[in-house]
């Protein structure tokens, strides 16, 4: 049987299937070892960022540090703040501003996760119960607002109006992306262009801003700012597209949430958009019942995966992610060669390799 048609148990795509589907080139295989290089190069600064984060979650309102610490201490790679530190180093910056901006970026990200889980009615986050399941929706939203406020206080302390402008704009764009996604939920007419627009706003905007503030505080020009922004934007889109594929063929521990959550929540992600292009009448009726009307019964997730596999949309989604990964790597040409640049190339490979 051709690799593109191989199926896991009960028609479900397995992690092995996705390895076959992605078929990474030799360069990707060599670089897919992880983000150890990036982690090592920013380790000292990340210790300071983590200490700074803990110091800024304190409050006389006991519930605030409880909820914030639940999510902040629950794992996660801290990729976004590491991008801020990495591009600050790559740009030759030697001050303390990168620490505060990196902490600000992580607070912004944590706030969006708290808000996302309420909007999506998610039960799990990073393999643990979502904060909303422990403290309720109201507390999750309000603690998210507290973290956003703290993020902006730290941005102001850095004293860079340009960096503040970039991160403030990202916060507004992320909120727009959330509303856009909400309005597009269960809409089977969503186009690929519209979906990628949501991803760029909701996910990639913070990656892009996290990277761009590095050359900003280093005093570099528009060429380096644009390159960092392009790297972050492309990496963020690739990261989300891999999540889209993994939701129908990965493992819960890779996602930090339940496999199939996008399907159960009626999200129209790229694999669905691509499958709908060539859907026959029976398939369209299936998507209408499950995604649009929310009528899901036992066996529907496996059936959905089978349909996606029959149209090769999981493979196409991974390939699209790899194209964005190539764009991110190309953007690094604006910066000098060295260990940090190599680590950022490896980071792209790592994000794509999550599907392998």
Least confident among 66-80, 261-275, 322-336? 66-80
Query: How confident is the model over 102-117, as pLDDT tens digits?
Result: 999 999 999 999 998 8
Residues 6+ apart with CB under 8 A from 341: 90, 332, 335
Query: How confident is the model over 134-186, as pLDDT tens digits?
Result: 898 999 999 999 999 999 999 999 999 999 999 999 999 999 999 998 888 89
Amino acid 148: pLDDT:
96
Closest CA to 187 of 121, 266, 254, 129: 266
For the chain, helix, strand, coil in percent to 5 are 75, 0, 25
Place of tokens 């493992």: 251
Q: Which domains does the chain have, with CATH numbers?
A: 7-11+34-353 (1.10.600.10)
- Mean pLDDT across 43-60: 92
124 in helix, strand or coil? strand
Residue 207: how many other CB atoms lie within 10 Å: 29
pLDDT cut 90: percent of the chain above it: 72
Distance CA 3, CA 73 (A): 40
- Mean pLDDT across 299-306: 96
Per-position DSSP letters for 76-104, written without gaps between them: ---HHHHHHHHHHHHTT--SSHHHHHHHH
Give me the numbers of helices (H) and strands (E) for the chain, helices first please.
20, 2
Amino acid 254: pLDDT:
53
- Mean pLDDT across 14-24: 36
Instruction: Provide the pLDDT confidence category of residue 11 given band limits of 50, 70 and 90.
Output: very low
Distance CA 57, CA 53 (A): 6
51 in helix, strand or coil? helix
């Amino acid at each position: 049987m051709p690799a593109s048609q191989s199926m896991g148990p009960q028609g479900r795509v397995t992690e092995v299937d996705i390895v076959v589907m992605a078929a990474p080139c030799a360069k990707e295989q060599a670089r897919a070892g992880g983000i150890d290089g990036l982690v090592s190069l920013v380790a000292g600064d990340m210790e300071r960022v983590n200490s700074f984060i803990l110091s800024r979650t304190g409050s006389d309102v006991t519930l605030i540090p409880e909820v914030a610490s639940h999510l902040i201490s629950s794992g996660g790679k801290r990729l976004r703040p590491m991008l801020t530190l990495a591009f600050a180093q790559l740009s030759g910056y030697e001050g303390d501003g990168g620490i505060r901006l990196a902490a600000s970026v992580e607070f912004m990200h944590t706030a969006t996760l708290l808000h996302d889980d309420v909007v999506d009615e998610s039960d799990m986050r990073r393999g643990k119960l979502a904060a909303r399941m422990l403290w309720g929706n109201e507390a999750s939203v309000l603690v998210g607002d507290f973290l956003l406020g703290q993020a902006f206080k730290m941005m102001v302390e850095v004293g860079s109006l340009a960096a503040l402008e970039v991160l403030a704009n990202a916060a507004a764009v992320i909120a727009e992306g959330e509303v856009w996604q909400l309005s597009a939920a269960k809409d089977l007419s969503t186009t690929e262009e519209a979906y990628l627009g949501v991803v760029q706003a909701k996910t990639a905007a913070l990656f892009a801003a996290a990277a761009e503030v590095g050359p900003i505080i280093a005093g570099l020009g528009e060429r380096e700012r644009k390159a960092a922004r392009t790297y972050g934007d492309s990496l963020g889109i690739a990261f989300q597209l891999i999540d889209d594929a993994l939701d129908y063929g990965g493992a819960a521990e890779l996602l930090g949430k339940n496999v199939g959550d996008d399907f159960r929540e009626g999200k129209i992600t790229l694999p669905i958009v691509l499958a709908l292009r060539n859907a026959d009448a029976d398939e369209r009726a299936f998507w209408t019942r499950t995604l649009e009307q929310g009528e899901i019964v036992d066996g529907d997730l496996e059936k959905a995966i089978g349909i996606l596999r029959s149209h090769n949309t999981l493979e196409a989604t991974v390939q699209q992610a790899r194209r964005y990964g190539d764009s991110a790597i190309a953007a690094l040409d604006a910066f000098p060669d060295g260990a940090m640049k190599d680590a950022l190339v490896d980071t792209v490979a790592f994000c794509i390799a999550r599907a392998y």
